[in-house]
Structure 1
Amino acid sequence: MKSMRLIGSLSCIMLVMAISAVAQPSSSPAPVLDSAGRPLQRGVEYYINPAITDSGGRFTLINRNGSCPFYVGQENVSGLEGLPVIFTPFVEGETVIRENRDFRVAFSAATICVQSTAWKLGEKDPESNRRLIVTGEDQSSRRTANYFRIVVWELSIIAQPSSSPAPVLDSARRPLQRGVEYYINPAITDSGGRFTLINRNGSCPFYVGQENVSGLEGLPVIFTPFVEVAFSAATICVQSTAWKLGEKDPESNRRLIVTGEDQSSRRTANYFRIEKASDGGDIYQISWCPTDVCPTCRFDCGTAGNLVENGKRLLALDGNVIPVSIERRA
């Protein structure tokens, strides 16, 4: 199943539903401006782009489950075309879109679904408990589900660090780069070797683990912010080698790290973190806590250590913690 980026209501995109009447100031609100500083016009085609990096691409229609209606979402990466939208103010005769004023928005595109591409407040996703944005006409008398607003994102109300977090450094003190191959080594002795793929039970998928002793080759990984981690290797399993939060081992009660793609809409099981370890220097620990992917979700976060099972070293949360160093492949 292809991974998808769906748009949920009350998200950081700052497009919010206008559900109740709001007192309006005596003068007209300021117009919403496009990227060239021009007021948004009724009936003109526009692309909606994320304003922060590594958060997907342009807005588009998403075939979520192989049937109609289509959902409002994003391209997975920037640079793809996306689909243009057209805004229509609620106020008859108004020609521009204004901040905090109701409008309709529809994709300027045709689909296999014989219905409107207007945005509409949809159902609640049971996994994230967030309401999705779908397409189609609200059949109620007031059609409130088809009206949205654009509000100004006041960055001043959000606590911001004085600077971006420090980059993670490899063993030669160079910042880790997207798409470059690295080995992950334990930073303490007698705790196994390099990270590698483990055939745990003679079937797919393979698990994330370690060589039993230092000095063996291991397998390189590639990092992709936020952080996605994948082994740069092929296996007999015809599937991704991306790391994924897996099942709980019933004997140890620890969650294992397996490989493969998370098929949920947010793919939170595929995102990990690299954090500074208490050992100091360029020593790190790997954890699973994807709050960058979903700031409003609650997760049972954990830090990775090793679990020895039948002579094999598996990577697992909820137990010992293994500090690591990261070595760039020559």
Structure 2
Amino acid sequence: MKFIPICFLISLLVLFNTKPLQGAEPEPVVDKQGNPLQPGESYYVFPLWADNGGITLGHTRNKTCPLDVIRNPDAIGSPVTFSASGLDYIPTLTDLTIEIPILGTPCNEPKIWKLSKVGSGFWFVSTGGVAGDLVSKFKIERLAGEHAYEIYSFKFCPSVPGVLCAPIGTFEDADGTKVMAVGDGIEDPYYVRFQKVSTFVQKKNQDLSSM
């Protein structure tokens, strides 16, 4: 019988005692400077092609409450916050609570995102959500490719079997407002980058012509 070195046996024990069910931690979402997004911090959500024209809240549909999540190409946008249960950073492809904590609006509902049905097979990203509710679970997905490290999109795709899973794009309503939406006719995701509010310096006479 051949002698098996004790170091080899120890290596096998280490190998087979590894816990395979504990997968790697989710990849962090990073801002334009390459820093992981932090829970509770405020970020601008800019379109891929500009440093302005970000996401904010506005009246759509019948111009009543609740407010919906829109794109405003004529303004910087509103700070957005994120939280992920049990994590001290914001990961990709993980259920998130997303909020645009604007104060002093005519609508008193919470500014947490939720999916709000507008018609058959069509939903707006709206407000009035509750952290942990199924309709308030959103994900951030990174664009594939080595040159797309800081480019992301939003999805409504709760980690629950049999629930709607679809990219969030934009829908232009009758008065030209671009509303974040999911459903029929919304095929392409809306690609964005994140900028920490405390590190952003707006350029003077910023050109909005590309939007």
Q: Does 1:90 align with 2:82?
A: no
**TM-score under structure 2 normalisation?**
0.55
Partner of 1:29: 26
Distance in 1 (alpha carbons) for counterparts of 2:46 and 2:83: 19
Q: Does 1:48 align with 2:34?
A: no
Post-superposition shift, 1:104? 0.3
Q: Go from structure 1 to structure 2 and tell me whether the alpha carbon gap of 1:49 and 1:25 turns closer, same or farther (over 3 Å shift).
A: farther
Contact 2:112 2:130 in 1 (8 A): no
Unpaired segments ≥5 residues, structure 1: 1-23, 157-260, 267-293, 298-330
Distance in 2 (alpha carbons) for counterparts of 1:262 and 1:149: 28
Distance in 2 (alpha carbons) for counterparts of 1:120 and 1:31: 23
Q: Over aligned residues, Cα RMSD in angstroms?
A: 3.0
Partner of 1:133: 125
Q: Does 1:69 align with 2:66?
A: yes
Unpaired segments ≥5 residues, structure 2: 1-20, 147-172, 179-184, 189-211
Q: Secondary structure at the match of 1:49?
A: strand
Poorly superposed stretches of 4+, deviation over 2 Å? 261-266, 294-297
Identity %: 26
> What one-letter code is carried by the residue in structure 1 that aligns with 2:125?
I
Greater relative contact order structure (CA < 8 Å, 6+ sep): 2
Q: Go from structure 1 to structure 2 and tell me whether the alpha carbon gap of 1:144 and 1:95 turns closer, same or farther (over 3 Å shift).
A: same
Deviation per residue, 1:15-65 (Å, 9 max, x gap): xxxxxxxxx971101110011111000110001011136xx8200001113
> What one-letter code is carried by the residue in structure 2 that aligns with 1:26?
G
The aligned length equals: 134
Q: Go from structure 1 to structure 2 and tell me whether the alpha carbon gap of 1:81 and 1:143 turns closer, same or farther (over 3 Å shift).
A: same
Post-superposition shift, 1:102? 1.1
The residue correspondences of 1:1-330 to structure 2 (distance < 5 A) are 26-52=23-49, 57-64=53-60, 65-77=62-74, 80-91=75-86, 94-110=87-103, 111-125=105-119, 129-138=121-130, 143-154=133-144, 263=175, 296=187
Distance in 2 (alpha carbons) for counterparts of 1:144 and 1:105: 13
Distance in 2 (alpha carbons) for counterparts of 1:51 and 1:125: 29
Distance in 1 (alpha carbons) for counterparts of 2:177 and 2:76: 21
Distance in 2 (alpha carbons) for counterparts of 1:97 and 1:35: 14
Post-superposition shift, 1:135? 0.2
